[in-house]
């Protein structure tokens, strides 16, 4: 068998890319540490700051802080001033690394790949057997990572942009309707809507009991009263009828039988109601999904989304890069005739679905 000739330039380019990815993995640990230790937050508005000053501000050991700062400077996550040997966090870097209410805050998201490493043995077994891995069987860092990753994105766009993109839905929410949030997780999306629309009533459903317990705790802190309820229920059998709005927030593709979920939505939706489907952004063809964001979603889909869908029956395993055409097919089979892309972001598709 002939060994193909090696193009040294292509090899070097690929090694550079692979090492860059490895460096990013190391850097993620540093980002998580910086967030949890308050290092980024202590740099906000401080201007150029030395390792000694930052260590004093955060009650951390200077030698560790110094090395951490150098890792941040090397990766472009802070700016380094060579003359004064100080470090500075720009306003743009602070939005991503220090402001926990920013729609682009990312440190908590590193819990997701951490959980993927913890669950590597389960993923290997799933590859070899074809069996699934249930959501509840993943490492606990997954749940808080996913909730935090999506919470700020929803906070930045859900009420201000996505709901207004749906025909007549904001007006109905302002007047008062029943809303079902299917696969609500920790309930961040449910509570955001409840806060914005005090005349409507919101019901959050999720099959993961621990997430519902967390959602109830968060609801207790937000104190929306009886207008918000969280219950353990599956997407194909949650209670209630005549919902004016049914929402699926980055959840349908995780379900083992999305067709059954769509049929149940059709049976519980009010005659003039709307389904809002939020899904990871994807084009319909693999060749059109060659990007860092698509790579992130495909990787998470491999070990989390597809694995859960298989464990949940695996009737139709959509994956996190389903694309609009396959998503629309699910709802057309359930009897819906109106499916429209209402909005999109680099991370999400927002689809409006009606009868």
List of domains in the chain:
26-99 (1.10.10.10), 109-354 (3.40.50.150)
Point out which residues pair with 352 in neighbouring strands: 276, 340
Q: Tell me which DSSP letter residue 225 carries.
A: G
Residues 220, 222, 204: CA angle, nearest 5 degrees = 70
pLDDT, residue 252, reads: 98
Contact between residue 134 and residue 311 where contact means Cβ atoms under 8 Å apart: yes
Nearest to 151 by CA among 161, 139, 143, 141: 143
pLDDT, residue 191, reads: 96
pLDDT, residue 260, reads: 98
Cβ within 8 Å of residue 130, ≥6 positions away: 310
What's this model's pTM, rounded to 2 decimal places? 0.92
Reduced to 3 states, what is the DSSP secondary structure of residue 35? helix
pLDDT, residue 94, reads: 98
Spatial separation of the C-alpha atoms in residues 207 and 209, rounded to whole Å: 6
pLDDT, residue 1, reads: 60
pLDDT, residue 153, reads: 85
Spatial separation of the C-alpha atoms in residues 196 and 40, rounded to whole Å: 31
Q: In the chain, which stretches have pLDDT less than 70?
A: 1
pLDDT, residue 187, reads: 95
């Amino acid at each position: 068998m002939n060994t193909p000739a090696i193009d040294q330039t292509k090899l070097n380019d690929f090694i550079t890319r692979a090492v860059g990815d490895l460096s990013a993995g190391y850097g993620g640990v540093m980002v998580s540490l910086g967030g949890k230790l308050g290092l980024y937050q202590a740099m906000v508005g401080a201007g150029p700051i030395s390792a000694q000053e930052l260590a004093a501000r955060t009650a951390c050991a200077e030698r560790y802080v110094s090395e951490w700062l150098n890792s941040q400077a090397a990766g472009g996550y802070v700016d380094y001033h060579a003359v004064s040997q100080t470090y500075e966090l720009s306003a743009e870097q602070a939005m991503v690394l220090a402001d926990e209410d920013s729609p682009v805050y990312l440190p908590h998201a590193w819990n997701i790949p951490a959980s993927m490493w913890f669950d590597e043995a389960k993923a290997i077994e799933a590859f070899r057997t074809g069996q699934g891995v249930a959501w509840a069987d993943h490492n606990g860092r997954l749940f808080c990572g996913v909730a935090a990753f999506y919470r700020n994105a929803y906070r930045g766009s859900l009420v201000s942009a996505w709901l207004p993109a749906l025909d007549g839905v904001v007006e109905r929410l302002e007047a008062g309707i029943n809303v079902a949030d299917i696969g609500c997780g920790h309930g961040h999306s449910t509570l955001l809507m409840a806060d914005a629309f005090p005349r409507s009533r919101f019901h959050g459903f999720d099959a993961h009991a621990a997430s519902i317990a967390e959602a109830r705790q968060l609801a207790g802190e937000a104190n929306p009263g009886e207008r918000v309820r969280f219950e353990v229920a599956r997407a194909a059998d949650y209670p209630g009828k005549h919902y004016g709005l049914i929402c699926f927030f980055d959840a349908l593709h995780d379900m083992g039988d999305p067709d059954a979920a769509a049929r149940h939505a059709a049976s519980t939706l009010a005659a003039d109601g709307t389904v809002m489907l939020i899904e990871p952004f994807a084009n319909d063809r693999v060749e059109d999904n060659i990007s860092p964001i698509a790579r992130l979603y495909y990787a998470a889909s491999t070990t989390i989304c597809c694995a859960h869908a298989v464990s949940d029956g695996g009737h139709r395993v959509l994956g996190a890069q389903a694309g609009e055409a396959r998503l629309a097919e699910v709802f057309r089979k359930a009897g819906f005739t109106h499916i429209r892309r209402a909005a999109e972001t680099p991370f999400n598709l927002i689809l409006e679905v009606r009868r």
